[in-house]
Every structure is written in C-alpha cells, then in structure tokens.
Structure 1
Amino acid sequence: MTDHKKNTMRLLLSNDDGLDALGIQTLVQQLQQTFDCTLVAPDRDRSGASNSLTLTRPLRPTLVREQQYKVDGTPTDCVNLALSEVIDGKFDAVISGINHGPNLGDDVLYSGTVAAAMEARHLGRPALAVSLVGKRHFETAAQVIAQLLCDSHTLALPPKVLLNINVPDVPYGELKGIKVTRLGYRHQAHPAIPANHPKGIDCYWIGALAEPNDAAEDTDFHAVANGYVSITPIHTDMTCHSALHQLNQWVNDLAP
C-alpha cells in the first residue's frame, strides 16, 4: 500500500453514532496508517438526524484526544464546523462512518451518516458515506475504504455527487466483490410502538424499518444480500424530472 502521508492527503472523518463508536474508531485505526486523519463527530449517538443543523444555540467543539474532537450537535454540524476552519478546514476529502447498520434505499433520507457526507460535498469536498450491514466486522468496511481511497485519484465524479457505500457484515476474505448500484426502496415503515412512561404519559417508539420493496438485481439491497459491497452515487437534486412536462401541462390548463 502506498504511503499517502508523504503525499499529505488529509481526511476528515465523521459519523452519526458518536466519537467513541466502534465503527469510526476502527476506521481511523485503519486509515491513519496511510493518511493524515482528523475525527470530528457528535458527542453522542445522533442516528436519524438527517441533514439537520443546530441553529438555536452555539456549538462547542471539544478536543478529546489528539486529532479527535466531539461536538454537541448533529453530524452535519460537525462537518460544517470542521470545513469552515473552526477545526482546521484544510481537508482533501471527507469519510462519514462506519455506520452501525445499513443505509440502503430510502434510509439515505434519514441517515446522519449520509447527511455528513452530503454536507461535505455541498462544501466542495469529495465525500464517502460508509455503512456496515451489521455490527460485527467493522474491520472489513475499513479495509474496503482504504482500498478505494488508494485508487481515488483515478475517479472523477460530477459536482455535488457523493458515494454511498454499504458493506456486508462478513470477514474481508468472504466479500464477493464490488458492485455499482442504484438505491432500492423499502415497503412502508412499521407503525409506531406504544411505550411505557412512569407517569402514564402517552409516548411511542418510532416503528422499525420495513423490508425491501424494490430489491432488483441492480439495487444496493440485492448487492449486499449477495455478498457484494454496494457503491451508489447520490446527489441532492430531488426533482422528479420525468414529471415536469405533465405538471406543466396541468398548471397551464388551470390558468384563467
């Protein structure tokens, strides 16, 4: 493996599971052998935070250990502060993860892991979001990312595009390979679940994610289910371009 420290490639690492989560700590142990890594992550689990920014109070970055900071905010807050030179700012690329569980299909709408990478791409840095489809073999996902980064100089992506990567929860030697995929879709989520409150107040857990509805051969769901690493290019343009013509006709017909 090439020693990229000699090339001064500097990586910002973040996540939504918190600074001391096993995923991000495994990732930094792998990547710091080759790259100059700085961690800026939430001070606690912020899973499901999506792209939320904290706008109602100031944020406090705290140096916990060398080149590792915790922030009392969301994953997007962390990346925003790090890249706006509150914490250095001089990073060549951003890696978000390793997430404790999948970010497949519709999951990307809620994922703080994907949101952190999205904020980085919005601020002009190449970005990867990486998730382990399980909670055991984090070293497998870390090795995959190290491999991809060593060849990243040969990849050119359009502006505002990030890579969403999901890795099967198996030993590295059992991976079948890598597939470029599209996002699949899940069925409607399960209903909210009533919870017990000591004061008798009505409260609920958000319902669990549903099984895939669209897991066709070209989707991320299909790839990981069959032992492949899934790489999906995603961007923030949520416009349904195929509906524009029909919508324009409808609006024109409404005109007085």
Structure 2
Amino acid sequence: MRILCTNDDGIHAPGLEVVEQIARALSDDVWVVAPELDQSGVSHSLSLNDPLRLREVGPRHFAVRGTPTDCVIMGARHILGKEMPDLVLSGVNRGRNVAEDVVYSGTIAGALEGTILGLPSFALSQEFSVETREKPLWETAQKFGPEIIRKVMDAGVPKNTVINVNFPARLPGEVKGVRVTRQGKRNLGFLNIDQRRDGRGNPYFWIGFERAAVMDAPAEGTDLAALAAGYVSVTPLRLDRTDEAFSETLTKTLG
C-alpha cells in the first residue's frame, strides 16, 4: 500500500514524524510531501497565482512552498509519478480539529483534497491541554492511529467521505476507548481580535482564540464530548455539504 503523508504545521513539525511512524506501521511505501512553512488555518486554499517551489528534503521527503492542498496535488499528480497513492494521511496536527475547526483547518483540507482525488483520506490531530501544550502526548496518536486506520479501511471508506480522527490529551493507558462521533459546535465568540501598535504607533491586529467565561457542556455524541470524556473521536465528514432537509423546504417554497 502506497501512503502519502502531509500536514499543515510544516515540514519540520514533530507531528509529521508521528504521522510517518503511523504510516510505516501500515506500509513500507511511504511518501512525505508537506508545506515548507506553517500553514495552519489556511483551510482548503489552493495556490493559483503563485508558483510552487519544490525542495527534496530527503529520500521520499519533499517540501512545497504552498498549502496542504497544494502538497497533496503535487504528491499525487507529480512526485509519485504514474502510481497514485492508496491512502492519504494528514497530520498529526498539534492541537485538535473539532467543531468549527474543520472549516478552517489545513490538516482537514489536506485529507479533503485526497478525498476529492478519490483516495481514502484521514485527518489526524493530537489534542493538548494546558499542561501538555509545549509537549503534546504524541505517543497517544502513535499508539491508536494505525489500528483505527486499519479498521476503518477494512470497513471501506465512502468515496465522498474524509475521516477526521482526534486523539485526547491523555497518555495511552488513560484513553478510555474510541467513539464514532458527529461534528460538534462550540460556544459562540471563541474568536477574538487583538489590537496592538507597532513601533511607529500604527495599529495592527491578531486573530486569536479565547475561552468563553462559561463553557457549555458539549452535546452527547459529538467530537467535543468524546475528547472531554477521554475517548478518541472518529468523525466521518462528507465532501457533499448539501443541506438535504432544507433543500426539500426550499423546493416547496421556490418550486
């Protein structure tokens, strides 16, 4: 099985080494094509107005000056030659990708591009806590990742589905198990604008994240609830975003 690995944290991110280890537990035909620089939050961005610079870092290891989407396309359509990958793994992201994160995440986008190309694709993310922020518990992703991927692959991944896997901020022995979940929703207002001034007194801004003063309990069955309870969250996300129920309503209204 030929596996293409990418991420959004960049070619030198520690999580990329972890996803490669997960891939090598499944196959010895592993290729790594990752962004030259950190591309967190770029979502499914595609470089159309800038050239892509390709650098060979080592055997079967390449850096692309572009987005995770660019990396998957370059890997599948150019670097690997005529033989397409059988599987795309994106991650392991430093930090979870749940709830609204799936809209912004470059990690999700890398896997999503694999799905668009017709390949079984997984987005893998390692949650961290306040205590593990500087040193995420990568061993948790490394332990549970290969078996989850095997089982999902054996079940058969639908053509228009990407598998979003999040590992809790717990040591492997403290993980309670694996739950299949749906996408959750956070409290509103978690994005924050931080205004500052440069050395000349001109304003500039950072988009950041802040914790709500009171956190609602996550809805049962969601990715947020699973992680909070100490489970690995496995969420199938559909490429087709059509709201079928509302489409029926609109058909009655506009038809």
Q: Do both share a fold (TM > 0.5)?
A: yes
Q: Which runs of 5+ in 2 are unaligned?
A: none
Farther-moved stretch of structure 1 (150-159 vs 183-192): 150-159
Q: Describe the superposition over 1:58-83 as per-residue Cα deviations: whole angstroms up to 9, x where unpaired.
A: 21221101111100000000001111
> Offset of 1:133 from its aligned partner?
0.7
Equivalent of 2:244 in 220, 234, 241: 241
| RMSD, aligned α-carbons | 1.8
Structure-2-length-normalised TM-score: 0.89
Equivalent of 1:133 in 127, 130, 142: 127
Alignment of 1:9-158 (within 5 A): 9-35=1-27, 36-88=29-81, 90-134=84-128, 135=133, 136-158=136-158
Q: Describe the superposition over 1:198-248 as per-residue Cα deviations: whole angstroms up to 9, x where unpaired.
A: 232221111316556572110000001111000000012222221123323
Q: Distance in 2 between matches of 1:131 and 1:172?
A: 15
Q: Distance in 2 between matches of 1:54 and 1:147?
A: 34
> Offset of 1:41 from its aligned partner?
0.4
Structure-1-length-normalised TM-score: 0.89
Farther-moved stretch of structure 1 (205-214 vs 78-87): 205-214
Identity %: 36
Q: Which runs of 5+ in 1 are unaligned?
A: 1-8
Task: Tell whether the 8 Å contact from 1:27 to 1:139 is kept in structure 2 after alignment.
Answer: no
Q: 1:201 to 1:251 in 2, by over 3 A?
A: farther
> Offset of 1:84 from its aligned partner?
1.0
Q: Describe the superposition over 1:104-146 as per-residue Cα deviations: whole angstroms up to 9, x where unpaired.
A: 1111000000000000000011000010111511121122111
Q: Distance in 1 between matches of 2:120 and 2:35?
A: 21
Task: Tell whether the 8 Å contact from 1:186 to 1:214 is kept in structure 2 after alignment.
Answer: no
| Amino acid of the structure 1 residue aligned with 2:89 | I
Q: Describe the superposition over 1:142-183 as per-residue Cα deviations: whole angstroms up to 9, x where unpaired.
A: 221111233344211322101100001221111100000000
Equivalent position of 1:6 in the other structure: none
Q: Describe the superposition over 1:22-67 as per-residue Cα deviations: whole angstroms up to 9, x where unpaired.
A: 1111221343254221110001110001000000022122110111
Q: 1:114 to 1:67 in 2, by over 3 A?
A: same
Alignment of 1:103-252 (within 5 A): 103-134=97-128, 135=133, 136-188=136-188, 189-208=190-209, 215-251=218-254
Q: 1:151 to 1:248 in 2, by over 3 A?
A: closer
What is the number of residues matched between the two proteins? 244
